[in-house]
């Protein structure tokens, strides 16, 4: 699908370019997490595989949409995709080996972080890039469904101290991966998104 954006101001165009790059990297990382979890779950938790496969299919679709959005916005994949591959695979294997609750804690932590970023991006994109806004809006709904599904699996016990710590650690690692893989572009992008809100 070819997406043709409006002609935003140069500073806004740079932020939009960064949005597409960061989101593409994040979706790639999510693909690696779910792929690793599925590989382990096939042996240890086979009943979880169908749900994880559906989430993986969604992430593959999201990654493809952000990749398709890159050329029209003069964007390209981040320089350190291997970092996302390694980080996502390690996180996926570790949480799957820890068991079903750790898998859902991981999903909840990652999706909560993603959801917050997407909300900020949608606010920024209003009136600047309607096509990308529409793409992110549809993706946001699927990511929110993943978050709600994970939270439903965790139930009230999700507030246990160990799970809260694990969820916080995964959220922090996700933020660090975003920052490292974009060489700080995510910080500049976040600053621009916040300035647009004020």
103 contacts 48 by C-beta, under 8 angstroms: yes
- 2 within some domain: no
Out of 54-58, 114-118, 191-195, the most confident range is 54-58
* Euclidean distance between CA atoms 70 and 19, whole angstroms: 10
CA distances from 86 to 31, 90, 147 (A): 11, 6, 23
Alpha helices (H) in the chain, listed in sequence order: 10-44, 49-69, 81-98, 100-125, 130-154, 161-181, 185-197
Give mean pLDDT, residues 63-72: 97
- 43 within some domain: yes
Query: Across all residues in the chain, what is the average pLDDT?
Result: 85
Confidence (pLDDT) at 30: 93
- 98 within some domain: yes
pTM above 0.85, yes or no: no
Q: Which residues contact 161 (CB under 8 A, 6 or more apart)?
A: none
- 69 within some domain: yes
> Into how many domains does the chain fold?
1
* Euclidean distance between CA atoms 196 and 96, whole angstroms: 39
- 135 within some domain: yes
Domain of 76, in residue numbers: 10-197
Q: pLDDT (tens digit, 9 = 90+) per residue, 31-43?
A: 999 999 999 999 9
- 1 within some domain: no
Q: What is the CATH number of the domain that holds 112?
A: 1.20.1260.10
CA distances from 173 to 19, 36, 155, 176 (A): 19, 17, 24, 5
Confidence (pLDDT) at 170: 78
Instruction: Report DSSP letters for 159-175, one per residue.
Output: GSHHHHHHHHHHHHHHH
- 121 within some domain: yes
- 3 within some domain: no
Q: Report the b/e string of 12-38 with b at 16+ CB within 10 A.
A: bbbbbbbbbbbbbbbbbbbbbbbbbbb
CA 161 to chain centre: 25
């Amino acid at each position: 699908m070819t997406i043709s954006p409006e002609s935003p101001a140069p500073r806004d165009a740079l932020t939009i370019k960064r949005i597409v790059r960061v989101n593409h990297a994040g979706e790639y990382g999510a693909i690696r997490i779910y792929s690793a979890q599925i590989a382990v779950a096939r042996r240890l938790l086979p009943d979880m595989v169908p749900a994880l496969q559906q989430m993986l299919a969604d992430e593959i679709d999201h990654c493809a949409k952000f990749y398709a959005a890159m050329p029209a916005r003069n964007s390209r994949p981040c320089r350190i995709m291997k970092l996302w591959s390694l980080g996502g695979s390690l996180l996926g294997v570790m949480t799957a080996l820890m068991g079903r609750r750790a898998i859902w804690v991981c999903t909840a932590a990652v999706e909560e972080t993603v959801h917050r970023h997407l909300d900020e991006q949608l606010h920024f994109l209003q009136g600047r890039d309607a096509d990308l806004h529409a793409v992110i809006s549809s993706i946001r709904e699927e990511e929110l469904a993943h978050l709600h599904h994970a939270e439903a699996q965790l139930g009230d016990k999700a507030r246990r101290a160990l799970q809260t710590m694990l969820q916080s650690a995964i959220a922090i690692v996700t933020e660090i991966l975003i920052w490292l893989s974009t060489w700080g572009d995510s910080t500049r992008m976040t600053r621009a998104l916040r300035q647009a809100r004020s």
